[in-house]
Amino acid sequence: MTDEVSQLVERLNDAHHDEQRIVFEDAVDQLEGTELALLLESLPVAERLERWEQVPDEERINVLVTMHSESRQAIFDSIDEEKLHALLNNVHAEDLVQLADTLPESVVDEALQNMAEMQREHYQQSVQYETDQIGRYVDHGLYILPRTARVRDALRGLKKSSFECADCLYLIKRNGDFAGTVLIQTLFSAPPEQSLQALSIDEPMTVPAEMSRSTASDKVEHSGLMALPVIDANNKLSGRITLRQALEITRENYESQLMATAGLNEDEDLFAPVLRSSKRRATWLGINLLTAFFASWAIGLFEATLQQVVALAVLMPIVASMGGIAGSQTLTLIIRGLALGQIAKGNIPPLLIKEVSVGALNGVLWAIVIGVIASFWFASINIGLVIAAAIVLNIIAAAFSGVVIPIILDRLTIDPALSGSVILTTVTDVVGFVAFLGLGTLFLL
C-alpha cells in the first residue's frame, strides 16, 4: 500500500494540470478509501481540495473518516453548509462520531435529524463516553439473538446477514442484558434444535464501555477472536470492538507517541498552514528554552574560570538546544510521512519550503526573546544581537536538515527513525556553535 500511494503522489506531481485529473481518476479506481485518504493527505492543500472534487460521492464519508482531523478540516472549510448537509445525509452513527469534532454544530444536528431512529440512538449512546473510552467508538454491526433461540434460528439468520468480521453471535436476555457469546463455527456441527445458550462460551470475554481504547485494543488482540462485545455499566450490549479497530487504535497510539516526542500532535497535517504549524511548535520551543537557560546557568557557575569568554560559553548551549528541538520536530513529521508513503520526489520542494518557512518564523520569534534576555543578562546589546542571529541561522538550518536528512537516509535504505536524530543533532550543534562563535569573534573580540 505504501509504495502504491508513494508512486501515485510522484505521478501527480510530475503530471501537468490537465493530466493530474486523469492520474487521480486512475487512483480512485485502484485504491480503497483508506489509501485514497492517505493520497489526499500527501498533497499540498490547494491541490488536495481540487482532487477532492473527483472523489466519488459514495467514497467521501469513508475517506473523511480515515483522514487525520486537521487534514479533514481543510476539506470541510472549503465546503459550504448546504453541501455539508447533502454529504452527511444518511451518515452512519459510527462515522458521525468520528467526524463531529470537525463539523459545525448545526451540521451535526441536521445530520442527526435525518438519521433513522436506531442510528440516532447509537450516536447518543456513543457520545456519552469520553474520547479515550472504547464505548465511544463501538461497531454496531452485531449478530444478536435472544438466548432462547436455537441453532436453526441462528443458521437461518446467518444466511441473510452481512456482518463483517463475524466469528461470533451474541445472546441477550429478555430485558436486554448481555447473556453470552456463541462461536459461529460451533453452529454447523450442532443439532438444529440445540439451544444457543447451551453452546455459549463458559466465560465469555467482554470489554467494559468505560475501558480505555488502548487497553481494549490489547484485549482484543490477545483474545484470539475477531471481535469482543462491549458492555455498558448496566450489562447492556453497547456494540463490539473488532480486531481491525484494535489494530487501527494500536497504530494511532504508536503514531501519537512518535509525534509527542517532538511536541507534535498525531493529527498534524503534512501541509498545514505555516502560521498554524509555527504556533503549535512555538510552545514546545518555549518549554525547551527554559531547560536550555538552566544548562546555561550551570555553565555560568564557572564564570571566574572562563574569564573573558564567559558570555559565549554560558550562552552556547541555548543555540545548540533550540536548533536541536526545532530540527527534531521537522524530522519526526518527515519520518511519519515516509512511513505512510506520503512523501515522494514530486512533493519534496513544497514541503521543504513550508518547513523552512516555519523554521524562519519561529527562529525570528525566539531570537528576539533570547536576544533581549541575553542583552540584559550581560549588559551588552552586541551579545544579544550575536545570539539572536545565531538562533535564526541554526533553526532554519535545523528545519532544512530535518527534511533532507531522513529523505536521504531513506534513499540509502537506512532507517531514518534510528539514525536521523543522531545526524540531525550533530548538524545543529556544529552549525549552532560555528555561527555563534564565528559571529562572536567578528563582533565581540
The tens digit of pLDDT for each residue in 57-93 reads 889 999 999 888 888 888 998 998 888 888 998 899 9
pLDDT in tens, 369-421: 999 999 998 888 988 998 999 899 999 999 999 999 999 988 888 767 666 77
Adjacent-strand bridge partners of 145: 171
Please measure the distance between the N-terminal and C-terminal CA atoms of the chain and give it in whole angstroms.
58
- What architecture does CATH give domain 144-253? Roll (3.10)
pLDDT in tens, 323-334: 989 998 899 889
Mean pLDDT of 2-21: 83
33-41 and 45-52 helices cross at what angle (nearest 10)? 150
pLDDT of residue 306 exceeding 50? no
pLDDT at res. 442 = 78
pLDDT of residue 262 exceeding 70? no
Q: Which residue has the higher pLDDT, 334 or 440?
A: 334
Backbone CA torsion sign across 137, 141, 143, 144: positive
Which of 34, 4, 30, 36 shows the shortest CA–CA distance to 247? 34
Instruction: Give backbone dihedrals phi and psi of 68, rounded to 5 degrees, phi first.
Output: -65, 150
pLDDT of residue 131 exceeding 80? yes
Question: Cell digits for 228?
Answer: 469482543
Q: Which residue has the higher pLDDT, 300 or 382?
A: 382
The CATH number assigned to the domain with range 2-128 reads 1.25.60
pLDDT of residue 135 exceeding 90? yes
pLDDT at res. 186 = 93
Q: Which residue has the higher pLDDT, 103 or 159?
A: 103
Q: Which residue has the higher pLDDT, 279 or 16?
A: 16
Mean pLDDT of 209-226: 92
pLDDT in tens, 142-170: 899 999 999 999 998 888 776 666 789 99
Please, which pLDDT band fits residue 299 given cuts at 50, 70 and 90?
low
Quickly tell me which residue has 447473556 as its cell: 179
Q: Which CATH number fits domain 268-443: 3.40.190.10, 1.10.510.10, 3.40.50.2300, 1.10.357.20?
A: 1.10.357.20
pTM (predicted TM-score): 0.69
Question: Which has the minimum average pLDDT: 33-47, 209-223, 332-346, 413-427?
Answer: 413-427
Question: Which has the minimum average pLDDT: 10-14, 361-365, 394-398, 414-418?
Answer: 414-418
- d(C-alpha 268, C-alpha 250), whole Å: 18
Question: Which has the minimum average pLDDT: 12-21, 160-169, 236-245?
Answer: 160-169
pLDDT of residue 320 exceeding 70? yes
pLDDT at res. 238 = 93
pLDDT at res. 304 = 43
DSSP conformation class of 192: T
Count Cβ atoms below 10 Å from residue 215 Cβ, excluding itself.
13
Mean pLDDT of 105-119: 90
pLDDT at res. 257 = 59
Please, which pLDDT band fits residue 1 given cuts at 50, 70 and 90?
very low
Considering the chain, what is the average pLDDT of its residues? Answer: 85
Q: Which residue has the higher pLDDT, 16 or 290?
A: 16
pLDDT at res. 259 = 60
Per CATH, 144-253 and 268-443 having the same topology is answered no
Please, which pLDDT band fits residue 213 given cuts at 50, 70 and 90?
very high
pLDDT of residue 209 exceeding 90? yes
pLDDT of residue 429 exceeding 70? yes
Domain boundaries, the chain: 2-128, 144-253, 268-443
